[in-house]
Amino acid sequence: MNIRSLLICSALVTSSFAADDEKDFKQLFNGKDLAGWHVRNPGATNHWKVVDGVLLNDLQQGEHGVDLITDQKYWNFTVRYEYSVPENSNSGFYLRGRHEIQILGDAKSGKPAKGGNGAIYNTIAPSVYAGKPAGEWQTVEATMIGNKVTVTLNGVKIHENVTVDKATGSELDTKVTEPGPFFLQGDHGRVSFRNIRVKELPKE
């Protein structure tokens, strides 16, 4: 078998693994519009829009926006998403509407912190700092089973089976033993999301 054939076979195997890895995941954001989502406060100024397949919170400095919430609620799941955030901009991805995985443009600090990028906000700092520079796309996989959360940021596991038994702030409610939606924090700063998808897992 020549080198070209080996490369083709390798690509096919890689594609197969990637396809298997995405099995049973469902898109939460369709890349076209905000179907399946609603704003937290209908009376607030909404800066969320879809631009070239990207969900953008087009919030400028000094402006106040609104959070974006999935219509559906979830209990056990693995969620995957990508985000990009400018330097010093602040957002978050909430699990069950109560537990925030912090999004912060703080790559210049390069240090894990309870309020920093990748933290379970104000509760658990990431085990290592795995954030990328401002403006780059970052990838997250978060699995939540019961009150345990595991998070991988940019291919690095930063939380492993940590306990989250209370809401972390700005939560929708404090009913931590009930299913809840995902929500994207939209009242602090500019942020972009894409490829948001979820796989529901069996109840424990």
Q: Cβ of 162: how many Cβ atoms within 10 Å?
A: 16
| Per-residue model confidence (pLDDT) at position 20 | 61
Percent of the chain with pLDDT over 70: 90
Mean pLDDT in residue range 144-172: 98
Residue 14 in this model has a pLDDT that exceeds 70:
no
Residue spans per domain, the chain:
25-200
What is the C-alpha separation between 104 and 116, in angstroms, rounded? 6
Which is the CATH superfamily of the domain at 25-200? Answer: Exo-inulinase; domain 1 (2.60.120.560)
What is the C-alpha to C-alpha distance for residues 81 and 101, in angstroms, rounded to an integer? 12
Tracing tokens 């600090």 back to the chain, one arrives at 109
What per-residue confidence (pLDDT) applies to 204?
73
| Torsion of the alpha carbons at 56, 152, 154 and 126, rounded to the nearest 10 | 90
